[in-house]
Amino acid sequence: MLYVINILQNLEAMSIDKERDRQKAKAALADILNMEKRLPDDFDPEKELREAREEKYGNIG
């Protein structure tokens, strides 16, 4: 019987963690969406990526 109680307690802890993880994921998504709104109108992600690659790797290829 102690084994069954232990399993049930572990399942309960897992479900609590799952809900906490779900809330953290929602908060992270909200942060990302809010960051997107702060970008300037002329922001060019391709240009930013190209410049970051050039800065990090230079002309190796």
- What pLDDT digit, counting tens, does each position of 5-56 carry? 777 777 777 777 777 888 888 898 888 888 767 778 888 999 999 999 999 8
CA atoms 51, 25, 27, 20: torsion sign: negative
pTM of the model: 0.39
Write down the residue that tokens 């232990």 correspond to: 6
Q: What are the φ and ψ backbone dihedral angles of 55, each rounded to 5 degrees?
A: -65, -40
Taking phi over 0 as left and psi of -120 to 50 as alpha, with beta for the rest, 44 belongs to: beta
**What per-residue confidence (pLDDT) applies to 39?**
76
CA distances from 10 to 2, 17, 25 (A): 12, 11, 22
What is the total count of domains within the chain?
Answer: 1
Host domain of residue 14: 2-57
Calpha distance 43→5 (Å, rounded): 56
